[in-house]
Chain A
Amino acid sequence: MAHRLRQTVEHIGVPRLMIAGFLVIIFIIAYLTDMSVPQLITDSLVRVGMNGIIVLAMVPTISCGVGLNFGLPLGVLSGLVGALISMERGLTGFSGLFAAIAFAVPIAVVVGYLYALLLESVKGQEMMVGTYVGFSTVAVMCVFWLMAPFKNPELIWAIGGKGLRFTLTLGNHFGKVLNNFAVFRLFGVKISAGLLGFFLLFCLLIYLFYRTKLGIAMLAAGANPVFARSAGIEVRRMKAVGVVLSTVLAAIGIIVYAQSYGFLQLYMAPLMMAFPAVAAILIGGASLQRATILNVIIGTVLFQTLLTTALPVTSRVIQGDISEVARLIISNGMILYALTRSTGGK
């Protein structure tokens, strides 16, 4: 009995059990302090659908052997440019959303490929280099936002008529189109089938990708490069495929995130985009060598639910706002924990 219990614990993983336990406590406190539990769940589900695809973007780089994609802002920036082009054209609703994705994906493919070429030359330090590539590109893009030839008055500063605004409202374009699609209520919980369905659709696509010849070649290249070479797989190309795929997912992910949030945030906003995603997938049980779709789903649910519920509940209990501090401690602490655990061999 004790043995089986230990096996189950080992299988699920101590960190996940602790977080899940913590969540249960939070929900109990919320119930006891007369907070609306269905509302908390509704908010959490929105956050899950909002962030899911960005977390999913971590899977291809991990499985092709590059590690966590700290260069995620590259994909995010590609997605922002795609969204801006769609908005400049004045597209609205679903056509606006899909146009944004359609514009963003080719940009992300090119950017991802160039990024892959760079990573190729810094083998073994991809995560460190990726972090700084992300940071510096965000800074360079700040200049681009100021200079970019966008003309739509909704996008640019009202005074001066040049340069994009810090935050753009998506209300008239494709704000909340997924969130408001196919919404239904279950036990008082508002569920957006559109938003969650879109996330799960991408999970399914990625799952299928890992069942294709290309996907399996990529897995093999990441798991054991020498084995892959002996099977006639070009490891370099597989890494490029993984990085491109991750960048594309990040681009789509930020568009979904923005439509859910209702605003497009430019300038320094994408700077730290990679870290919550990294934290989420690590909480989900992924390592630096291995990540599955299940890790993504579990990780996103645990991490985002924790962020959405812990903060209102704790501030209610201790009568003070520690939300930002708590968020930083949880997400960065989780990254630290996972990085120390993963580099010590298998």
Chain B
Amino acid sequence: MERARRVLEMKGITKQYFGNTVLNDVSIDLCPGEIHALVGENGAGKSTLMNILFGMPVIHSTGGFSGEILIDGKKVELLSPAAAMQAGIGMVHQEFMLLPGFTITENIKLNRETTRKNALSRLLKSEFLDYLDVPAMRKDARTALDRLDLSIDEWLPVAGLPVGYMQFIEIAREVDKKEVKILVFDEPTAVLTETEADRLLGSLRRLAADGIAILFITHRLDEVMDVADRITVLRDGETVAMLNRDEAVVERIAELMVGRKVEKVELPPRDTDPSDKDIALTINDLLVDMPGEMVRGLSLSVRRGEILGIGGLAGHGKLGIANGITGLYSASGHVSKNGDNIPLNSPEQVLLKGLAFVSEDRRGVGLLLNEPIDRNIGVTAMQAQHKFLRPWPHFLPALRLENRGELRAYAEAMIRKLDIRCLGPNQPVRSLSGGNQQKVCVAKALALEPEILFVSEPTRGIDVGAKRLVLDLLVRLNREHNVTIIMTSSELGELRKICDRVAIVYRGRLAGILPPDASDAEFGLMMAGRVRKEAI
């Protein structure tokens, strides 16, 4: 490895989205033949940094960035993915960009086919009419696959291959590009099994030994320790550390990743603290088929009256739990409330059992955007529990008229209680701010008078002030109305702020439960899969 030469340097990169600084003076560099790991929590700015490097249109359509990119010491302007590819940057995507009906060879060589001239193409001087040189293409594909130590036949169609292989074909496509000197891997092991992941790491090392510089983005700290020569840690859009392998230990990286000062606020006390003697909800062996957030056999007990946090990195299934129990995604397993079995896959039954859910997808699941505030608040309670309806005709509840007066009065009370900033209960929710929309979602759940409330990502996409209000609201509900709250969030900080316990999910299972005042390193390790079971 030549340490002196830099194949890539990104210097002082700063990027703002609509006034929000997502990257602040980030610098990173790569030497030929080096594996450089980039780690950070969700939202730390990794993807934005890679989008900048790859010249994605989303960067330039939102006002570009400041800072400079140097390749082989020369300043370059990467205004499009095509320009980035020309500069020798290859990217292996998280989502598979493969054509399922095409063979492996065709996928690898797509739009870079080897061709032979024929009479017509010579006559018209158009390379679009050249013959494909299939044997040559297959040879190239074979070489690329061999470099990855993949023994699969190059003429097989991609459709039907195991997921793990698809990732390798993506890599083979990048490797086949002769000009590639920098390869970016964006969480390549997220969808792989452990053996597949090991193999991939082996390929990474081999490619690095060939002199390709590799930028490796991942959540999994074990892998980082395994292959990385250097490690850069991002947090909240800033570089917090750049470590050499010999000075890095997993605990230290975990701490750097998560570490932020948790402002400890005094939460109102309770008469009796929740305990394992009084369990409100038991989840046994829950499996949820939610794409990207699979839950694979999770068991958990929720104490009555507590605020239980569920944390974990994206893709590990924390969001699947609430979505599965409330019936929005197909689930199996056993869930019982007070010993009473809750049928899965039936939102209606779940609502009748006194469970309510504030979805993480506020605009997609949580609201009827074009409808007014009062209808948004009332419709679920009306449909599931026959509230806000006139009593007649009682024999045909489906044709009972909406009681607008009652609904409006309830909505007005909620607007006051939750301090929803609006022009009145008539205002369509589309025109409310994110924080106020979230409060409407909470009001909607409250209209159901739930015993147990699931709240997912309650502060996603809302500003700082509104975040605090929403969190305060949850605490108030918990203390004053004795609602048991299960809160899922990507922001560990807010979980640690208001929760009694924080459960960490890793790969669809419970990794452990930590008290909110556990150390940063403990949280970081658990989220990264270094399970250390601790009963608390």
Contact = CB atoms under 8 A, between A and B. Distances in A.
Contacts, number: 78
Interface in A221-252: 223-224, 226-227, 229-233
Contact of B379 (A211, A229, A231): A231
Interface string B337-371: 00000000011111110000101010011111111
Interface in A123-173: none
Which interface residue of A208, A217, A227, A233 has the most chain B CB atoms within 10 A? A227
Interface in B463-477: none
B386 A213 contact: yes
B328 A213 contact: no
Interface in B402-417: 402, 404
A91 to B, nearest CB: 30
A232 B384 contact: yes
B147 interface: no
Given A213-B398, A214-B398, A229 B347 contact: yes
Given A212-B399, A213-B382, A214-B399, A231 B351 contact: yes
B161 interface: no
A219 B367 CA distance: 13
A33 B240 CA distance: 83
B397 interface: yes
B383 A213 contact: yes
A220 B359 contact: no
Contacts of A37: none
Contact of A213 (B326, B350, B369, B399): B399
B386 A230 contact: no
B368 A212 contact: no
A117 interface: no
A327 interface: no
Contact of A230 (B357, B370, B382, B400): B357
B136 interface: no
Interface residues of A, number: 20
Contacts of A217: 383
B402 A220 contact: no
Interface residues of B, number: 36
Contact of B365 (A208, A223, A227): A227
Which interface residue of A212, A213, A230 has the most chain B CB atoms within 10 A? A230
Given A213-B382, A226-B364, A226-B365, A231 B399 contact: no
Contact of A211 (B347, B352, B402): B402
Nearest to B323: A230
B401 interface: yes
A216 B402 contact: yes
A346 B368 CA distance: 13
Contacts of B327: 229-230
Nearest to B326: A230
A90 B375 CA distance: 49
Contacts of B402: 211-213, 216
A228 to B, nearest CB: 8
Nearest to B398: A214
Given A212-B398, A216-B375, A230 B365 contact: yes
A290 B398 contact: no
B347 to A, nearest CB: 5
Contacts of A227: 365-368
A336 to B, nearest CB: 25
B380 interface: yes
A213 B400 contact: yes
A235 to B, nearest CB: 11
A285 to B, nearest CB: 14
A214 B399 CA distance: 6
Interface in A21-75: none
B442 interface: no
B258 interface: no
Contacts of B389: 213
A232 B399 contact: no
A215 B350 CA distance: 23
B368 A224 contact: yes
Contacts of B347: 229-232
A16 B371 CA distance: 23
Interface string B223-265: 0000000000000000000000000000000000000000000
A223 to B, nearest CB: 5
A7 B369 CA distance: 21
A208 B392 CA distance: 13
A142 B326 CA distance: 51
A160 to B, nearest CB: 49
A223 B371 CA distance: 9
Interchain residue pairs A-B with the least CB separation, the first 9: A232-B348, A231-B380, A214-B398, A232-B384, A226-B365, A232-B347, A223-B368, A231-B383, A211-B402
16 contacts: A211-B402, A212-B399, A213-B383, A213-B386, A214-B398, A216-B383, A216-B402, A220-B368, A220-B379, A223-B369, A226-B361, A226-B365, A229-B347, A230-B357, A230-B380, A231-B384
